[in-house]
Amino acid sequence: MSNAWHIGVIGGSGLYDADLLQDAQQITVQSPFGDPSGPVTTGFLGNVRFTFLSRHGAGHRLTPDAVNYRANIDVLKRCGVTDVLAISAVGSLREAMAPGDVVAVDQFIDRTAGRERSFFGPGCVAHVGLADPVCDRFATLAGDAAEAAGAKLHRGGTYVAIEGPQFSTRAESRMFRDWGGDIIGMTGMPEARLAREAELPYALLGMVTDYDSWRDGEAGVEAPDILAVLSANAARGMDTLRALADLLPQDRSPAPADTALEHAIITTPDKRDARLVARLDAVAGRVLG
């Protein structure tokens, strides 16, 4: 098995430009789980291959609930990605996490509904562990890179994933604070769940754009507020990726998530649905092949 890093990056289309990658190629990759958000762009930062996928598609055409998270993760797995870094705009539920700051997430509260949450199902049942949904090693490296790029970083934070596309009410925002949430967004789940099922170590850097709607005496969050901060964050995001390429160890050693499916598949071989198993060739071929 190769010990080279191949970093998959899921983020907005403004996260990178044509000059970021060397030998860049845009490739359309098909998935048996439907259409991904768009083509991938793959190339090199130094000696490290990076493959980018715009979560919401070109021109931000997809709402959070319309993103095909399964296809996106499946496509990255098919590209040979070893680790996935999500870079996402988030609202803050804590005074100390101010707009412009970056949070290296370590936990999630999933409040999404109606999204496909698993690659598995009837005919091939699997239960992966998700107690620690983020790869600690990769999150540490991503956090180091954000700091090297000049960000004020918060190491660790609980991401509350809501369905959207509307922002929270004030009552909801305050409730999420009481639950222990630190930041809030609409796309971290089921993305993190599916990355674990695909045996891809996952890290999420949340770029804080606003204070959501919990602060007394202030207007709630609105889209123009977010867009203003996002434009400023784009350059820092690219600097973070450059720093990450420099910080990665030369050789990639195994991570716990690499073998998440080792004992997770419950269905006996004689009862597995051949059609579903065929769809799982990239995600679970290591254990089903």
Please confirm, yes or no, whether 212 is among the known catalytic residues.
Answer: yes
Q: The tokens of 36 are what? A: 């991904």
Please confirm, yes or no, whether 74 is among the known catalytic residues.
Answer: no
Tell which residue, 61, 63, 37, 62, has the closest CA to residue 164. 63
Which one of the listed residues 83, 110, 144, 212 is annotated catalytic? 212
Tell me, what's the pLDDT at 14? Answer: 61
Tell me, what's the pLDDT at 287? Answer: 97
Render pLDDT for 235-252 as a digit per residue (tens, 0 to 9).
Answer: 888 999 999 999 999 999
pTM: 0.95
Q: How confident is the model at residue 13 (pLDDT cuts 50, 70, 90)?
A: low
- pLDDT over threshold 90, residue 36: yes
- pLDDT over threshold 70, residue 183: yes
Residue 232 dihedral angles phi and psi, to the nearest 5°? -75, -30
Report the alpha-carbon distance of residue 1 to residue 151 in Å, rounded: 35
* Sequence letter at residue 83: D
Q: pLDDT over 90 for what percent of the chain?
A: 87
Kindly tell me the sign of the dihedral angle through the C-alpha atoms of 171, 176, 179, 182: negative
Tell me, what's the pLDDT at 216? Answer: 85
Tell which residue, 90, 89, 94, has the closest CA to residue 177. 94
Report the alpha-carbon distance of residue 249 to residue 252 in Å, rounded: 7
Cα 61 to chain centroid distance, Å, stands at: 18
Tell me, what's the pLDDT at 28? Answer: 97
Report the alpha-carbon distance of residue 272 to residue 274 in Å, rounded: 6
- pLDDT over threshold 90, residue 188: yes
Tell me, what's the pLDDT at 235? Answer: 81
- pLDDT over threshold 90, residue 4: yes
Mean pLDDT across 130-157? 98
- pLDDT over threshold 80, residue 115: yes
Cα 269 to chain centroid distance, Å, stands at: 31
Give the chain's mean pLDDT: 94
- pLDDT over threshold 70, residue 16: no
* Sequence letter at residue 16: Y
Q: The tokens of 214 are what? A: 């919990």
Mean pLDDT across 87-104? 95
- pLDDT over threshold 90, residue 273: yes
Which one of the listed residues 144, 182, 210, 258 is annotated catalytic? 210
Domains of the chain, earliest start first: 86-288 (3.40.50.1580)
Report the alpha-carbon distance of residue 231 to residue 235 in Å, rounded: 8
Report the alpha-carbon distance of residue 281 to residue 131 in Å, rounded: 26
Tell me, what's the pLDDT at 168? Answer: 94
